[in-house]
Structure 1
Amino acid sequence: MNAPATSDQKPADPPHVSHRGMEILDLITVSGGNMKIQSIASALDVSEETVRRNLKPLSASGLVKRVHGGVYLKQSSTELSFAQRMDENPRPKQRIAAHIAGLISDGSSLFLDIGSTTAFIAKALRTHKELLVVTNSVAVAHTLAAHNNNRVFMPGGELRAHDGGIFGAQVIDFIKPFHMDFAVLSTAAINATNGFMLFDLEEAHYSRAIIERASTRIIAADSSKFGRTAPISIGPASDVELLVTDAPPPADIAKAARDWSTEIVVAG
């Protein structure tokens, strides 16, 4: 007699995506799910051949479909995005998270955004007590709510499937009454010319709004973001007091940070 079939087979792991691959997926996502090769190359300031080379593993993994002169997302690609971000450079992000958690005292108030590094920070804050947290991230809220008398506030709006973030005009209206001790933000790219940048306009609007409403503004970013570019600035880099990262930046970014009066701390 045959043994009954079981359903406990481990699902396949999501495909690994490089940092450049994630940049391309982000660009295509915020462009509505499809994009021309030429437009991707222009946005990332790279050659079209570089874009095609980076699209090959994305296509082989089933995340995108290439067509003549362009590319579009397959249905599953946005669903995997946040999980892939959490799996990218986890140890540096954990060191960054531990350092930032050490700067925040029990009873503090803070904004947290939707970045994967921010999700690690939320985990590092789980032993803190009586925090007041405003976040548009479902992952952050789930991590910190109902722990140690923490109070977690979330805005209403559209819940995005690919990153668990809440966005929309009402999100900015919701946070207007708050003024917090800290704003802790992630970023997609850091360079000496344009400062801190993102691929998503709604994320940039949220970042600017919380920067304006916090006493201390902290960027949490691993060193893979150095020298990268993205199309949207989060605002004047001089508004950020502290950049916490995992490795010393290139000389041009270090000099720019001094000009911005932004302290750079390398988490041990």
Structure 2
Amino acid sequence: MFKDVIYLKKEDRISYLLDILSSNPSIHIHKLQQLIDSSVSTLRRDLIELETNGIIKRSFGLVTLLRKDNIEYTASFRSTQHPNEKRKICRLASDLIFDNDSVFIDSSTTNKYIIQNLTDREKVNVITNNIYIAMQGHNQKNIRVFLAGGFLRPYSETVLGSEALEYLSQFHPRLSLISCSSINENGVFMADIRQTHCKKK
């Protein structure tokens, strides 16, 4: 049983909920409350957020998991997951970017923290297919942004499609910062095949 979830940070409570739902894809809300030992109001708020992001469905007291591990969650939801770890990764990754450098930063909620670590660099060219990263770069005088055009995927802040692939193929940056959904002994995986095509470019 998961105890004292009500006192955990929001991202940790959500992770507990998803762990339980992965093992119990359809569970009554009262049972769920017992398992996590959370207040009704806290549980309701967390479930509303998950439902808004299309991850679960609530109906007649049942909570049903809709989104599996091989389906990509929305950018807004993924941004709430492990932000401190993502910031640390980006601080380390930013050391690989130099003055007058050229770098491709792909679309992910981890890479969104890269730009803020480049304030002391001179004239960095950033190529991306992520509108959030592009706007961050636009707001820094030392960053020149090249944003791919194409289909703006709903809820992901990501530009995809043949137009995006054609645009990205023009560039040959010194460095590419690429994210993925998972890694194991069989290789690197993404939830969306369209994302994979852009990363290969």
TM-score by length of structure 2 reads: 0.68
Equivalent position to 1:198, from 184, 190, 194: 190
Which residue is equivalent to 1:145? Answer: 138
Which residue is equivalent to 1:82? Answer: 75
Which residue is equivalent to 1:29? Answer: none
Question: Which sections of structure 2, spanning at least 5 residues, go unmatched?
Answer: 1-9, 33-42
Equivalent position to 1:110, from 88, 99, 103: 103
Counterpart contact for 1:126–1:143, Cα < 8 Å: no
Once structures 1 and 2 are overlaid, which stretch shifts more, 149-158 or 197-206?
Answer: 149-158
CA RMSD of aligned residues (A): 3.5
One-letter amino acid of the structure 1 residue matched with residue 200 of structure 2 = R
**Cα deviations across residues 68-109 of structure 1 (Å, max 9, x unaligned)?**
9x8657xxxx9x932322221122111111111111101110
Structure 2 Cα separation of the partners of residues 167 and 98 of structure 1: 27
**Cα deviations across residues 231-262 of structure 1 (Å, max 9, x unaligned)?**
xxxxxxxxxxxxxxxxxxxxxxxxxxxxxxxx
Q: Does 1:208 align with 2:181?
A: no
Once structures 1 and 2 are overlaid, which stretch shifts more, 197-206 or 160-169?
Answer: 160-169
Which residue is equivalent to 1:218? Answer: none
54 and 91 in structure 1: CA distance in 2 versus 1, 3 angstrom threshold: farther
Number of aligned residue pairs: give it.
Answer: 165
Q: Does 1:161 align with 2:143?
A: no
Structure 2 Cα separation of the partners of residues 16 and 180 of structure 1: 40
Percent of residue pairs bearing the same amino acid type: 24
**Cα deviations across residues 89-143 of structure 1 (Å, max 9, x unaligned)?**
1221111111111111011101111111100122222332211111011110111
Which residue is equivalent to 1:17? Answer: 14
21 and 122 in structure 1: CA distance in 2 versus 1, 3 angstrom threshold: farther
Which residue is equivalent to 1:52? Answer: 25
**Cα deviations across residues 120-167 of structure 1 (Å, max 9, x unaligned)?**
122222332211111011110111124233210111112123121111
One-letter amino acid of the structure 1 residue matched with residue 198 of structure 2 = Y
Which residue is equivalent to 1:127? Answer: 120
Which residue is equivalent to 1:61? Answer: 47
Q: Does 1:174 align with 2:167?
A: yes
Counterpart contact for 1:126–1:144, Cα < 8 Å: no
The 5 Å alignment of 1:21-32 reads: 21=18
One-letter amino acid of the structure 1 residue matched with residue 25 of structure 2 = R
Question: Which sections of structure 1, spanning at least 5 residues, go unmatched?
Answer: 1-12, 23-47, 210-268
Counterpart contact for 2:94–2:118, Cα < 8 Å: yes
**Cα deviations across residues 18-52 of structure 1 (Å, max 9, x unaligned)?**
29949xxxxxxxxxxxxxxxxxxxxxxxxx97251
Secondary structure of 2:95's aligned partner: helix
